[in-house]
Chains A and B, each alone.
Chain A
Amino acid sequence: MFFSFDLLLEAVLFGVLLGCFYAAVSIGLSVSFGLLDVPHVAHPAVMILGSYFTYVLAAYGLDPIVAGVLLMPVFFLLGILIYRFYYETFEKRGTEASVRGLAFFFGLAFIIEVGLILGFGVDQRTVQAAYIGSSLELGEYRIPYRMLVAFGVALVLTFSLTLYLSKTFTGRAIKAVAQDEPALRLMGANPVRIKQWAFGIATGVSALAGAMLIIVGPVEPAMDRLYIGRTFCVVVLAGLGSMTGTLAAGLILGIAESIVLMMTGASWAPAVAFGLLLVVLGIRPQGLFGR
């Protein structure tokens, strides 16, 4: 298979931008599944819900990123509600409820997907903004502005969340509850409240991720299935509970997908995430930086 070095470089460049975007999209899952151990297969569906809300707000003239930021507190509350419900119904009851918890989240994802189809139809939706449609020209390479915007937001999001988790008191409490819940209880902190808060943050972040999603490209209700692959691939490859790993894993996925896209066109690129996920699960399930 012959391809030019230039094309490869362009693919890698695009892959880096895409990878950071994937990392930002997965970071919510890194918290909810990686740290809190919630089998949150509905994470991509919630994110796409965010995309559609962004679409609605953008139709009123709001810039999509602004819309995403405005949605964050709303989704934060939604996250708290979901976690509370999950905890009361499933986690409290112990391991026999784990199958049901998983079935619950699949059901939730499904309901969201079908709800969106009923509300918006199966067609793809996009948003308009000044930075969507044009590209930055850097020598021989053209980088779409929307990718740069997503890249920028993604970096800010990833770094702020990582800093939050390592520098603030609540953030460190979240990491602590992931590692040693009994110890945390002994210190007087309420682990359920902390987990609830963390899940809320993860979901709030998903709102902004959803906004970025619709900036980067068109969305449709069934996309959550594809993103189950991408987000879980990133989270598993990173190693559960590793925030910095999420960035590295995102980059690996982004570059891999980008190269496959260049070599085979759009037909095989979606399978890359799932294929990579299976490989990681088979060879090194603890991921790159797993705890």
Chain B
Amino acid sequence: MAAPLLKVQGVSKHFGGFTALSEVSIAIAPGERFGLIGPNGSGKTTLINCISGSLRNDSGSIEFEGKEISGLAAYRRTRKGIARSFQIPRPFHSMSVLENLLVPYEYVVHLKQSDAEQQAMEILRRIGLADKAHAQANQLSQVELRKLELARAMAARPRLLISDEAMAGLSGSEVDEVLKILFSLNAEGITIIMIEHIMQAVMRFSQRVICLDAGKIICEGTPATIVANPEVQRAYLGA
């Protein structure tokens, strides 16, 4: 491919004696829709944490837009254009929904409050949370919290958006809603990495998918390739 947007090379991460990631390498092209699947505990979130900066990788390199970022603090990576949502929602619970979005607007995009509020409301409208804009974040339902996670990541105006199980617990139509938003974001040029357990969503969305198991990549390819791969089937269904 032409210069990849994100290049992960030989990344490993250990926790004490436990190896969470072992020599993982991926290259993601700008504008790509990339799926990441794998059974629970396979290292998906650890990989995301290493890319976003919540964790430091023990070895290997991570390059974003051609520059090494593994030594950078997470907030710097967000300012460079990497945003993520959290698998277990972490809202700023003492703030309103709107205020939650103002944080990335203030700290990443550096907009004046009035402009930020306008743009934040647009995101909320897009994602279907506009009527809850002034509700306190800790009063939202689980589903609404997941949408807030995504909205907050969108507010950071990322070039690379990592969605970590944003659809868990959503109904069929809600899944479609979120997929539509992700597709439209991608159409605007945002590269998206999607981690999901909802297979039909991943397969519909992704151009390329990799499957992790026990910290290693066991398969990489198009959705059709992945689904047909016996190793993947084994990892998910057991021997």
Contact = CB atoms under 8 A, between A and B. Distances in A.
B221 to A, nearest CB: 32
Nearest to B93: A96
Interface string B178-217: 0000000000000000000000000000000000000000
Contacts of A291: 15-16
A96 B94 CA distance: 10
B20 to A, nearest CB: 14
Nearest to B16: A291
Interface string B1-40: 0000000000000011000000000000000000000000
B239 to A, nearest CB: 20
A78 to B, nearest CB: 33
A285 to B, nearest CB: 14
Interface in B85-104: 93-94
Interface residues of A, number: 3
Interface string B69-97: 00000000000000000000000011000
Contacts of A290: 16
A182 to B, nearest CB: 10
A291 B16 CA distance: 5
A290 B15 CA distance: 10
Contacts of A96: 93-94
Nearest to A96: B93
Contacts of B16: 290-291
A140 to B, nearest CB: 45
Most buried by A among B15, B16, B93, B94: B16
B85 to A, nearest CB: 18
A15 B57 CA distance: 40
Interface string A69-99: 0000000000000000000000000001000
Interface in A93-115: 96
Nearest to B40: A182
A252 B74 CA distance: 36
A291 B94 CA distance: 33
Contacts of B15: 291
Nearest to B15: A291
A290 B14 CA distance: 13
B108 to A, nearest CB: 23
B21 to A, nearest CB: 18
Interface in A20-64: none
Contacts of B93: 96
Nearest to B138: A96
Contacts of B94: 96
A268 to B, nearest CB: 36
Interface in A276-291: 290-291
A22 B16 CA distance: 26
A280 B214 CA distance: 33
A58 to B, nearest CB: 44
Interface in A252-291: 290-291
Nearest to A289: B16
Interface string B107-151: 000000000000000000000000000000000000000000000
A175 B9 CA distance: 35
A96 B136 CA distance: 15
A36 B15 CA distance: 18
Interface of B: 15-16, 93-94
Interface of A: 96, 290-291
User: What 4 A-B pairs come out closest when comparing CB atoms?
Assistant: A291-B16, A96-B93, A290-B16, A96-B94
5 contacts: A96-B93, A96-B94, A290-B16, A291-B15, A291-B16
